[in-house]
Structure 1
């Protein structure tokens, strides 16, 4: 919700973007905000700033375009109008990010106790709550810290601290042969304190407080001179102060992580929150009431993970009757397919492609294929799935991890357009848990059938294992179900719902892995009621699916 080129170029997280926004406004360096203030000063009612907004419902893209034409700030135009509103639609961050929530509620003059929260797509709450409670540092952010420390007359002790961290991360990057490695948080803390030449943890804590105060001084100096201030030093102090607060808590996991981009190896150091309830319970306790909505969430798991039973309020789980006509949904589990790691052979992938061939033959227009992982996706490509797509007169579109949001949006738009082409449509090949299997809708013919290839478990990384162990302790030995099985089935359930978005939609959902039969109770209720098991026989899918599309 921003048009300012400075903020757009920063590509910062929400908290830092708001901080830079504040500086730009204080220095009167944002023309969009200044124009909005001028217009507002001449009007008694903020609604009159842009009355056309109230002629019809406006989504964010339309508001952005309107404000671009008028050189107004879309973010603060929205906020000014909020004071007159009774219903506000906003991103999760506005409520679950403590920093943003405080600013947002203060601006509209409301307390959380006065708010009824309606959490749509609430299956996302668990990840949002843990993400906003986790922190990361990288060599890049440390180098920017060092630049500011050197430029603004810091103590040599502060500069030495950053250099110690830089050397430590570079050493770890050179020795790590895995993508994630657990950290002994107490051991690393003691090692840094020793290298700093400090006698104990108390002195280190005091040093971090001084570092944070110094970051505030720098910020004020930059603000006074009209500079844009990104608070790398303050973020570093926050990171280590949080480390000190949490290193003895089982609800946090500490790790080194390796990522690769354009063949370049990058390392980060992370404090990972494992328990979403640290964020969700205070919100649920404070708000007047809350309504949680999802077409795929498991009520028992969700209520435990977000702490509904600890909110101090009564709650009730309701599984609503599906609005979709059963005659318009075909749901199948395919026997004879198993993508467990030891089964991922050329023979198995050839068999998967043969079964996909049957589905493409039966399905008019567009088909989506969402794989358990990119490894499964690339293996399908390596085993020539494209020839089967061409054989059925369809065009293949492949989701790639390196695509920008804009590039991906154009690809999806092209895929959807194939539904109306003179050919037999398109095939979108992507992954479960990706932006196209969860963040995109495919109504009508834009996706008639969806195929989920494999059970989309995450790799059993140290982070996942830590979460399983922690959940075992706090959720009565339910760690594997809550931390491993449920997220996998949630990704599969989300992908399965892509073709059925309107009550008039007709769609086929194919679970291509026999293990879904054993996990039947975890499949979304509206799908589970119509599911059929297809035997491991050639043409068995055609015999079942062809009549569905050719009545």
Structure 2
């Protein structure tokens, strides 16, 4: 088969390693295999993967659809732009964009995603959605014109809404002819959505080629997707809802018994934090599914479909249905969170939900700038290891662009946390902030919001930008413009770490990265159960522990450092404020730029380094 990939390249030349990536993607798809592709963020892996897949499906003779799955709206923007560039180059490639169906809706509402899907289906059946009704009257040529006009995915959604159309239904009408479908993870990994969606397109899993962006996040995203929670506040609100809008007596009695049942564990959960319970305890008091369905439908009718609003009983309904489908790989726990009792159905083994997908799609490309080891991914996702091939270029820029320090007299280890350690970590941050002479962005990455809140009062900078759960990347970049020496306080695994790039032209403005404690995941029932599962598969408890705790921490450290280097000219100084960085179990998973760190053991020791540090940063 031909390897003439240049005909698809919409740029003047390939970047380092980019053509090899496209070639490896091509081979993977042609052979019906699965590729683990590690290639630096911002270096062009999106267009390389698109070119490789497009070339392959056309060589195979058509009939395949490519699902490009992205976690966030920002991540979905890049494949949309790259496919547009292919079209502008004269390559006839059809594509369409989907987001979370709730986010595409023309109505304003405050429902959860599951509530929205349920209500949306009723709206359509009852003929109450004006967007849906108008969409049915238009033709695909009109829809294509809207897509061609759209500059980006959100513009496409805005255009369809402004024309009184349902963005989701417009996209679905165009999906039949599309070679590429850009969508959220739910379209493939939520089995209810997948079955309906693929059914509407007459597709089976073996007709699909998957490209999964930022695949290092996939295990955690899938666990969150398959898990479900309700709390005592929701149960009380659902009781009020049933009383107010009317419903089956059995539903009201059930809610009373459910509240009483979980409150019976209040003392134990307050003492232990959480307690595992047998699902049969709940199922023994639950009414028949028909009773739950009728009660919910009655509540929604009484509320009025024309003003979609939150239904608390819906959450109870959904939780019980998931519990009735309970299987291996899940656990049910009651825990106390700020004195509120919560029922959590936790999926700790996602492989039982997704291994069939990966082993039945025609081919898949899992890619990231920081991808876990092959054995980790195979074990966590239940992928046949014989189907996997790898392509890894963890960096395309010189290793000399990184200068790494490790402080050995501080740590974020739980047993050593306290006011003394918080002050000491803050002192390091203050000295680094003052000692680096350059006017540049200093990025501080904490393992968690709680640790950031504990250390923050001791940080002296007057130009701090603090990441909160609702902080947007655009907001951060806007604030930086008015500052000389901004100090960004962020959280590993947070929004900023997944997407922030701060540049002036091609040059990164982030020159200093401080990792304020190794970001190990917090011990939990989820991690405990997962270790047991992996230990059985890997025949090693120690390796299972490393996969659950060490590998995610290392990935986050590498992500933090990688935020700063986006070109050959970029240089960064990375300070890791945690002595555990030198542990052999951590070092074995680190990439080359961390292999020979400079060690400091105290503030005075560090202060003697600043002449060297500032000299290093001056060469760019």
TM range (shorter): 0.7 to 0.9
- Alignment deviations for residues 458-514 of structure 1 (CA, whole Å, 9 cap, x no partner): 332334323333332333223311222223333333333222345664433322212
Give the corresponding residue for 2:383. Answer: 308
How far apart are 1:147 and its partner, in Å? 5.1
Root-mean-square deviation over aligned CA pairs: 3.4
How far apart are 1:174 and its partner, in Å? 6.9
Instruction: Mark the CA change 1:222 to 1:417 in structure 2 (over 3 Å): closer, same or farther.
Output: closer
Of 459, 467, 473 in structure 2, the residue corresponding to residue 399 of structure 1 is 467
The answer to whether structure 1 residue 473 and structure 2 residue 536 are counterparts is yes
Distance 1:192 1:276 in 2: 23
Give the corresponding residue for 1:133. Answer: 226
How far apart are 1:73 and its partner, in Å? 2.4
Distance 1:51 1:399 in 2: 40
Distance 2:272 2:153 in 1: 37
What SS is found at the alignment partner of 2:122? helix
How far apart are 1:114 and its partner, in Å? 0.7
The answer to whether structure 1 residue 259 and structure 2 residue 358 are counterparts is no
- Alignment deviations for residues 420-446 of structure 1 (CA, whole Å, 9 cap, x no partner): 44x523111122222222343444444
Of 573, 594, 597 in structure 2, the residue corresponding to residue 528 of structure 1 is 594
Note the residue ranges of structure 2 that are not aligned, 5 or more in a row: 1-98
Distance 2:468 2:411 in 1: 24
The answer to whether structure 1 residue 483 and structure 2 residue 563 are counterparts is no
Give the corresponding residue for 2:522. Answer: 459
Contact 1:256 1:268 in 2 (8 A): yes
Distance 1:5 1:170 in 2: 40
Give the corresponding residue for 1:49. Answer: 143
How far apart are 1:295 and its partner, in Å? 1.6
Instruction: Mark the CA change 1:216 to 1:500 in structure 2 (over 3 Å): closer, same or farther.
Output: same
Of 466, 483, 500 in structure 2, the residue corresponding to residue 440 of structure 1 is 500
Of 411, 429, 437 in structure 2, the residue corresponding to residue 338 of structure 1 is 411
Note the residue ranges of structure 1 that are not aligned, 5 or more in a row: 197-203
Contact 2:519 2:556 in 1 (8 A): yes
Instruction: Mark the CA change 1:535 to 1:164 in structure 2 (over 3 Å): closer, same or farther.
Output: same
Of 591, 603, 606 in structure 2, the residue corresponding to residue 538 of structure 1 is 606
Give the corresponding residue for 1:320. Answer: 393
Correspondence 1:44-443 to 2 at 5 A: 46-49=140-143, 51=145, 53-54=147-148, 58-143=151-236, 145-146=238-239, 149-150=242-243, 154-173=247-266, 176-177=269-270, 180-185=273-278, 189-190=280-281, 193=284, 196=285, 207-212=287-292, 214=294, 218=298, 236=316, 239-240=319-320, 242-243=322-323, 246=326, 249=328, 251-260=329-338, 265-299=339-373, 300-309=375-384, 314-320=387-393, 322-360=395-433, 361-362=435-436, 363-383=438-458, 385-386=459-460, 389-390=461-462, 395-401=463-469, 405=470, 408-409=471-472, 412-417=473-478, 419-421=480-482, 423-443=483-503
Q: TM-score, normalised by structure 1?
A: 0.80
How far apart are 1:326 and its partner, in Å? 2.9
- Alignment deviations for residues 317-365 of structure 1 (CA, whole Å, 9 cap, x no partner): 2222522233433333333332323433555444433432443232432
Contact 1:365 1:419 in 2 (8 A): no
Distance 1:344 1:106 in 2: 53
| Count of paired positions | 506
Instruction: Mark the CA change 1:30 to 1:332 in structure 2 (over 3 Å): closer, same or farther.
Output: farther
Contact 1:364 1:549 in 2 (8 A): no
How far apart are 1:150 and its partner, in Å? 4.7
- Alignment deviations for residues 107-159 of structure 1 (CA, whole Å, 9 cap, x no partner): 33322211100111111111122223222223344345445655676553332
- Alignment deviations for residues 260-288 of structure 1 (CA, whole Å, 9 cap, x no partner): 4xxxx433201111101012201112211
Instruction: Mark the CA change 1:486 to 1:48 in structure 2 (over 3 Å): closer, same or farther.
Output: same
- Alignment deviations for residues 7-30 of structure 1 (CA, whole Å, 9 cap, x no partner): x423312x3322222222333333
Between 1:109-118 and 1:342-351, the stretch displaced more is 342-351
